[in-house]
Amino acid sequence: FESEKYKNLIEFNFDKKTAIDEFKILFKKDPQFFLTQFFKLSYYIRKFHLTFTDLESISTLLSQRIYKYLNDVTTSFDQNRLNYFSCLCLKYLVRNSMEMPVFIHLESIMNMIKDNTCHPIKTELVFILAYVIEKSNDSVLINQFSTELNNLVFDLVELDHDVKEFFFSKLELHKTKKFDREMSKKSETSKEKKIKTVKNNHQVVTKAIQTVRSNKNNNKTEENEFKLVNLIDTIKSRSRNFNSKTTLEPLVPLETADDKEGDDRSIFNNTWKEAINLYSIALNKKILKDTDKDYYVPSKLFGNHYFFDMSKVEYLIEEKRLKSQYLYNFFSKRLFAAIFLIVSRRQKLNDYAIDTLMKCVTNFKKFYLILLYRYPIRHNKSQYVEDFIDAVFDQYWHLKNIKAPQLIVDFCKKMTDLIVDEYIRGLWIFKSTAIRKKNFIWEHVEKVVNNEILQVRLDTVTALYNSAVRDKKILTKERLKIFEDFIRKKEDAYDEKFQEFVIKIIDLAYSSNVIGAKKIFDIYINMLMTDKLENNIKIILSFINDQAKDYSRCSIMFDDRVFKTLLSFLSNQSVYNLEIKQDILEIVKNYLEHELIEGLSDENLNILIDNSILSNVDSSISNSAFVSLLLIVEKPIINKNLIPKMMKIFEKNENSNFILLILSRAIIDNKNGLYSNNSDNLEQISSKLDSDEMIHLNGVEKKIKFEKRSNGNCQDYSNFISLITANIIMRSVENKVNLSAKTIDNLILCLNSTNKDDKQTKIIAAKCLYNADKYMLLDNLNLLFEHVSSDIYDVSVYVQTVYLHGCVRVANSTNKKLDLVHLENSISLYADQSLKIGTNDYANEINQYFFQILLYEARKQKFKNENLFCLFDYLLMLNQKHVTQIIEILIVYTGNHTIPEKTIVALDNILEIPDYFKGVFLILQNVISLGQMVPNKTVCVLVDSIYNSVNSLFKYNSFKLLEKVIQNQDVSDDVFDMYVLTKAGFALRKSNLNYKEKCSLIKFIQLKTENGVQLPIDTKLELEKQIHFDGVLTIFYY
């Protein structure tokens, strides 16, 4: 009902002549009417496309008076609607008019821009200046001021980029070529200068926020101080990013060259000569053509090749020919495998080539059969070696004359040196050189043959690896199964080089998410359990370590069997070196760092202690083991056997440097540890907070003794008696034991200590105050604020939290405003970065209190600190997690107070995010209601709802807000046209329209649609009801 009433009361005027007549009446009553009717004047100028000529029909002085008003008040401009809409009047008059009146001077507008301090008005003046330049016919005048114009607008840092672009596009039309070059150079110089002087909101906010913390930033880095506070937190603070994708590199850097069509073969070459030819091309880093690479070489790798040399008579003998064929058949395949290896580094292999190479992923026996023999044959174990021996001996003289390729020459020399002996037979002129077989060692010959065959297999798997690095899509499920089966069956475990590449390929497949990490994990563990690995264990342990860094994978993959296998490598009898043992302990440590992961089983715990602590092992191994034990005692449930065992060792003063640390964490820090629940006892204990004694931990003697602190023994603060005392109190505070006033006094007294060696004690004391604040009232805000800017990072963090919590209590408990000093202090304490102590990030809690204070005070007082809104702008711009709290605060705050323009822009930037839309829209609604300007995105949302929303109430509210927006600021032509057409639709439904009014209204709508303006839904529906009226059908035509 409200919307219908509103629509019926809408002012009606869609006739240009009527509008001018109305202004004539207003001018007659008051020649200065534009000072009160500024909105209506700017609205009609734009709506009816009024020009200077149209205003002269009202009065020849009206335009001059508007211009003179702007020129006179420019030195005292303030951001108000009169001055702003006067600029809009002049802007649209200049844009609509064909010629400029003589009273408008370029230099006077430039002076207005220089003297003005209001950004929206300055923006409109730049538009006016641009239109004046566009309309001017005096190019000489424009060129005269061109340098000054360019510098004037370019130096307006706050001016929007699109406004500058619009201006320079108009100016460019009047620039001379000479001036173009000069200004281009000038612009670059000016731009560089300006960029260096601009500061963004983040810089301003950061400077303001860090004022409170400026002292501590001059000391050691936060990380170093953090390490000194707590060893466990230090361990956990190390980089332990989970590497979910294995990144492996090719043997040499890969490049991908474009394929070339055709081939480089000759019809006069046999397979052996073609192999030499293609190998030479590949070796010289030339591109192998596609037919050779994709079809010929793959087809020949495992094919059967015939070798026949017509120049050699002995080849007519079948036995000679077969032996020669057997040998050169292998030589060709050896070269083809080498070609694949070389080509895979530069060129992409097709599926046919990949499938051919996959035949190499099999055991040695199967491989040499498919490599050397066309069909399966019956043979004894050494048949293929005998074939090589016979062929080499038979072809000795030919092999001796082979000069290239070098890899064939090397193989031939190795074989002939082992099995062939040259000797002289006959006498005198009948002497000749003959050959005979040596009494060779069979195993030596077999090793040479096997190594060469294995090299063929290695070349092919390396080519597969290079291809997988280039494109992991080649690792299909079927191909991966072949690799998995090879590893799982432990085939040819002795060929570790080949195994290494199979493992690398499987890791590549894992990085492509082709197979599950669990499957790979199980394969590797089985390999560790059953095989002696040397070259590949680093790769396997690296993979297992990556899994240990991720909690979800730990809970699935690791069990007692896995740790029993890993920890067995730590024993003195283990063949693995210290580096491998350190890697294993690193896995254990990363596994134990997960808070939800339980500790080791009794059996594995005993293995860890026996193999790495009790045994006579390297000190680095025992130290690493102690780190794991420290992590174990951090678990919610401590292994029952650990504490008694450590206690017995501690009683004997053995390894006390770590044991005391372990026991203190087990008793003090752990949830199942002991604590004092008696306030009197805690009060007595608190008197030790000022103790100057310490536990001296000697890493060499591994004994514990008490001694006074001195400059030479204060490196390890965690062993101070005062610090241990603070931890005992901390344990009780964690269990919500009430502290006496004396205990609180002692804790605060500890914070006041000037002894620099008490740094860690102060930290735990501050932590006690922080935890006690959760269940006790600590309301001495002035005293607490003295330690907010403590030089000690942890103390500062804890006290900031307690202080802000106290301010929250005050702000929420009364209708009185929070004292301005405390409000300003609170604003300066926003945590703009992580404030971690151990695994806890206190920045979240500090910021929670920070925003609660602002929310409670937003109802009571105006925020005068500009840095606060700069902070809001920065957080809104980054779309961080605090956006929801900022929106909640601003909804309350904008109910009574305006906000800065940059904050409005920041809100506008997140308006389209669904989670924030409702809240941001409420804020912008308040902003509009308070008469502030909003950015274009907000206006577009209103326009979209008017065009597309099916919710009539939301559409109505959007239109009312858009109407208010237009009363506050300038909008784009599309938005303005949509607005007036919507009003036209509302006017059409009025029952008291006469025929003349309706005709002018239809004509107005027709004119807009002819110019491409889309009809709003409501206007379209009203026109459909008037379909028989003159001109309506014409509107729908457009």
Q: What is the pTM of this model?
A: 0.52
Rounded Cα–Cα distance for residues 56 and 605 (Å): 99
- 176-227 pLDDT per residue, tens: 433 444 444 444 444 333 333 334 444 444 444 444 443 444 333 233 332 3
**% helix / strand / coil in the chain, to the nearest 5?**
65, 5, 30
Query: Residue 748 corresponds to which tokens in the numbers above?
Result: 């605060």
- 500-553 pLDDT per residue, tens: 788 888 777 775 554 567 777 877 787 777 666 665 677 788 888 888 887 777
- 386-395 pLDDT per residue, tens: 778 877 887 7
Rounded Cα–Cα distance for residues 455 and 498 (Å): 9
Within 535-635, where are the H helices?
A: 537-548, 551-557, 560-567, 578-592, 602-609, 619-633
Rounded Cα–Cα distance for residues 729 and 669 (Å): 11
Residue 701 DSSP class? T
CB 437 within 8 A of CB 393: yes
Give the pLDDT of residue 535.
59
Nearest to 138 by CA among 163, 110, 105, 168: 105
Q: HEC string of 856-882?
A: HHHCCCCCCCHHHHHHHHHHHHHCCCC
Beta bridge partners of 432: 425
Altogether, the residues listed in the chain come to a count of 1038
Query: Residue 186 corresponds to which tokens in the numbers above?
Result: 């000038």
Rounded Cα–Cα distance for residues 630 and 349 (Å): 52
CA dihedral 588, 591, 597, 601 (to 10 degrees): -20
Q: Give mean pLDDT, residues 58-62.
A: 85
At 6, the pLDDT band (50, 70, 90 cuts) reads low
Within 972-1016, where are the H helices?
A: 973-988, 995-1010
Q: Give mean pLDDT, residues 68-77.
A: 68
Residue 1012 DSSP class? T
Mean pLDDT of the chain: 77
| For residue 616, pLDDT beyond 80 | no
- 462-509 pLDDT per residue, tens: 888 888 888 888 888 888 888 877 777 766 656 778 877 888 887 777
- 718-765 pLDDT per residue, tens: 677 778 778 877 877 887 989 888 888 888 888 887 777 788 888 889
- What is each CA distance from 140 to 14, 133, 334, in whole angstroms? 42, 11, 82
Rounded Cα–Cα distance for residues 74 and 973 (Å): 27
- Determine the 3-state secondary structure of 345 from DSSP: coil
Query: Residue 313: what residue type?
Result: V
Rounded Cα–Cα distance for residues 535 and 849 (Å): 56
| For residue 894, pLDDT beyond 80 | yes
| For residue 1010, pLDDT beyond 80 | yes
For CA atoms 715, 718, 723, 724, the dihedral sign is negative
At 703, the pLDDT band (50, 70, 90 cuts) reads very low
CA 344 from chain centre, in angstroms, equals: 33
CB 808 within 8 A of CB 856: yes
| For residue 174, pLDDT beyond 50 | yes
Give the pLDDT of residue 378.
47
Q: What is the DSSP string of 803-867?
A: HHHHHHHHHHH-SSPPPHHHHHHHHTT---S--EETTEETHHHHHHHHHHHHHHHHTT-----HH
- 942-985 pLDDT per residue, tens: 888 887 777 778 888 888 889 899 888 888 888 888 888 888 88
- Determine the 3-state secondary structure of 908 from DSSP: helix
- 624-661 pLDDT per residue, tens: 777 788 788 777 777 666 656 665 554 444 554 466 56
Please report how the helices 119-135 and 161-172 are oriented relative to each other, as an axis angle in degrees rounded to 10: 20
Rounded Cα–Cα distance for residues 868 and 828 (Å): 8
Nearest to 773 by CA among 752, 747, 751: 747
